Structure 1
Amino acid sequence: MGTSIGTYKRFKPHILMVLAQIAYTFLYFITEASFNHGMNPHVYITYRHIVAGLAMLPFAYFLERKTRPKLTIALLLEIFVLSLLGVSLTLNMYFVSLNYTSPTLLASMVNTIAALTFVLAVILRLEDANIRNPRGIAKVLGTLVSLAGVMSMTLYKGPVMKSLGHPLIYIHRGNGVIHENWLKGSILIAASCVTWSIWYIMQAYTLKRYPAQLSLTTWMSFVGAAQSAIYTVIVQHKQTAWTMGFNIDFWSTLYGGIVISGLVVYIQLWCTEQKGPVFVTVFNPLSTILVAVLAYFVLGEKLYTGSIIGAVIVIIGLYLLLWGKEDQQPEMKEKEQCSTKNEVHHEEPRMQKFTSDAEQDVVRNKMTSMPNL
């Protein structure tokens, strides 16, 4: 029993990130159906994060009221920038770029976030890329292999896999006009990937000063929704775009708000605090694999052998990177414990100069009996 609990605690971040990617997989299909139905993407982003903020607010207020640090002007500015990078700016650029390019290009570009985050984390010394260490080599090699697998999935097709029969679900794809402007679209999606990577990195720093994941998720949802609403009002002048019926638009907004922008973002924040931003982003290609598989079996879409080969390469790269990061967290915790012990040893002689052993015991007893403020 004790061994199974220890194993669960060890692999809890891995399990949570896999579940998060499964949630993202369903998001792809439900939002595609909603956009084909006529939902405006910018309005969707605004409504989705309002729902997320309302869903997370009671949990953040009651569960973190004793542990939540006080908000300062500096923290509010950080939250504003986090909301801009992770919600309003990035997601709106992502959906605008979809009008100028293709979903294939978006899929390949979005999955470069893990590599971008790893490079930024190494530059900012959040990750150790010591190539003299086998685990450091595994992290670098795993990132490159995973990136190569993603690129092969999206750029190399190969022969088509034989269909297994009629699709279980048929989604009608509208005949919307696609304004092809590859240069503009490529710049937008590249910019959104960079801002996404910066968002993941910035979370690691913000969580050190504001270690309240539920509250941070709530703040980002509300602030991001406000930012997105201002942008949407500027680019979308039709009032009918803001109306929503009790249909797929409502359910996609509810799912995206509660599950993705609420629960999944909270999971990512928790995993970022436990394992770092690179650990979170390296799981992103899993949703690409799951979307391709689910689209083949359920929707009857074409599945190419290039996608299967790329998926295998991605899994190999993912395994290498996770193995490289496996012992990193315990080592960091040991260093932190050693530093705190050294601080205690430096402080104890100062106490002995002014107090006797008996007086020190009285002071320590009083300190341990004080409640956590």
Structure 2
Amino acid sequence: MKSTKACAPYLGIVVVQLAYAGSNILCKLALEQGLSFLVFVVYRHLIALLILAPLAYVLERNRRPSLSFPLLVKVFILAMFGITIHQNVYYLGLDYTSPTVASALSNVIPALTFILTAILRMEKASLRSPKGRARIVGTIFCISGALVFTFWKGFLLEGFVKRPLIEMHAEGDVHHKEDWLKGSVLILTSYIAYTAWLILQAIICEVYPARLSLNTMICFFASLQSSAVALVFERNAASWRLNWNLQLLTIIYCGTVISCLTYYLLTYCIGEKGPVFAATFIPLQLVIVGFLSAFIFAERLHIGSLIGVFIIIVGLYCVLWGKSRYSNE
């Protein structure tokens, strides 16, 4: 029983990265077909709110801590950083740059999270202990491996499939060189907001452990905030109209799997292991997306990709070893 409980956060965070990898593939297709990211953020959290609210009411009504105004303000800020700012600014940044740059910049999240939690004394970062050294080295390896996976190509490997399962029809590069800096700054800003979201979650989970209720409030405030943003910047009525197509499938998937399941799992993993633990696994998402793209879109991998995967695995092992072997240190 103890071993199962001890493994639960590790299994949960892997499921989170698998779910996010699937959403990246779907979002890539849906946004290219004209889905408005402003509308997308609103709809997915409304779906999550409709699912989470009754579950939270039924399952946590007898063990839900009392709410206070300061706590509601913290949850409001949590939703603002982790959803409203992070997601809207991220998708806006993609309009000015490429997914490759976005994937590369995501590797600042583990480093930023580790640095900020060390400053706030939420994590021990002592070089004197094996635990501290393993976690620092593991974090560096994860970031380095993701950078190798993204930027170092090497020779091409044979593709897993001969023909893509889904054909992508790009309409050409519409970005200008001067926009890449703007896009990179926007995406980096969204990742800073996401880092703040991870850390603030850990703080709130200590005083409000009812995870379903917490995520319900997050989705509620995110729906209000994102609706206000979307009503100002997305005034085209056609963008709000839903049809039975891939765009609707993407909204439903992200509303149920990402905004419901993964938000809950993230809250659980952060509550059990801390924000650095959750952030360390982010490079794993890059690996999963790379291999999914190889199968679905017939993208050929480079030798650099495999070397990057190996470095990421070594880094994750170091972090996990540092967290488990010397957990009583």
**TM-score tier (shorter):** over 0.9
The total of aligned residue pairs comes to 327
Shift of 1:7: 2.5
Residue 7 of structure 1 is matched in structure 2 by: 3
Shift of 1:179: 3.1
Change (3 A) 1:78 1:300: same
CA separation in 1, counterparts of 2:191 and 2:14?
Answer: 21
CA separation in 1, counterparts of 2:167 and 2:216?
Answer: 33
Residue 126 of structure 2 is matched in structure 1 by: 130
Equivalent residues of 1:107, 1:154 under 8 A apart: yes
Equivalent residues of 1:115, 1:143 under 8 A apart: yes
Change (3 A) 1:165 1:237: same
Give, as a single letter, the amino acid of the residue that structure 2 aligns with 1:144.
Answer: I
* SS across alignment from 1:272: helix
Q: Which of the two has higher C-alpha Rg? A: 1
Give, as a single letter, the amino acid of the residue that structure 2 aligns with 1:266.
Answer: Y
2:108 is aligned with 1:112: yes
Equivalent residues of 2:160, 2:300 under 8 A apart: no
TM-score (norm: length of structure 2): 0.96
Identify the match of residue 121 of structure 1 among 103, 117, 123.
Answer: 117
Equivalent residues of 2:144, 2:311 under 8 A apart: yes
CA separation in 2, counterparts of 1:327 and 1:267?
Answer: 23
Shift of 1:130: 1.1
CA separation in 2, counterparts of 1:318 and 1:199?
Answer: 22
Shift of 1:323: 1.0
Residue 274 of structure 2 is matched in structure 1 by: 276
2:289 is aligned with 1:320: no
CA separation in 2, counterparts of 1:259 and 1:330?
Answer: 35
Residue 145 of structure 2 is matched in structure 1 by: 149
CA separation in 2, counterparts of 1:167 and 1:25?
Answer: 21
Change (3 A) 1:14 1:164: closer
2:322 is aligned with 1:289: no
CA separation in 2, counterparts of 1:258 and 1:184?
Answer: 32
2:184 is aligned with 1:186: yes
CA separation in 2, counterparts of 1:45 and 1:297?
Answer: 28
Identify the match of residue 233 of structure 1 among 222, 231, 237.
Answer: 231
Give, as a single letter, the amino acid of the residue that structure 2 aligns with 1:70.
Answer: S
Shift of 1:129: 0.7
Relative to structure 2, which stretch is displaced further, 319-328 or 103-112? 319-328
CA separation in 2, counterparts of 1:211 and 1:178?
Answer: 46
Equivalent residues of 1:50, 1:225 under 8 A apart: yes
CA separation in 1, counterparts of 2:268 and 2:159?
Answer: 40
Residue 73 of structure 2 is matched in structure 1 by: 77
Residue 54 of structure 2 is matched in structure 1 by: 58
Moved over 4 A (4+): 327-331
Residue 84 of structure 2 is matched in structure 1 by: 88
CA separation in 2, counterparts of 1:74 and 1:177?
Answer: 47
Residue 342 of structure 1 is matched in structure 2 by: none
CA separation in 1, counterparts of 2:300 and 2:100?
Answer: 13
CA separation in 2, counterparts of 1:40 and 1:300?
Answer: 27
CA separation in 2, counterparts of 1:55 and 1:98?
Answer: 29
Equivalent residues of 1:39, 1:249 under 8 A apart: yes
CA separation in 1, counterparts of 2:284 and 2:274?
Answer: 18
Shift of 1:152: 1.1
Residue 248 of structure 1 is matched in structure 2 by: 246
CA separation in 2, counterparts of 1:327 and 1:276?
Answer: 16
Equivalent residues of 2:45, 2:255 under 8 A apart: yes
Shift of 1:14: 0.4
Relative to structure 2, which stretch is displaced further, 312-321 or 163-172? 163-172
* SS across alignment from 2:155: coil
Measured against aligned partners, the alpha-carbon deviations of 1:111-141 in whole angstroms (never above 9, x if no partner) come to: 2211111111111111101111011100111
Measured against aligned partners, the alpha-carbon deviations of 1:46-85 in whole angstroms (never above 9, x if no partner) come to: 1011111111111111111111112111011101100001
CA separation in 2, counterparts of 1:226 and 1:178?
Answer: 32
Shift of 1:177: 5.6
Equivalent residues of 1:43, 1:232 under 8 A apart: yes
* SS across alignment from 1:194: helix
* SS across alignment from 2:167: coil
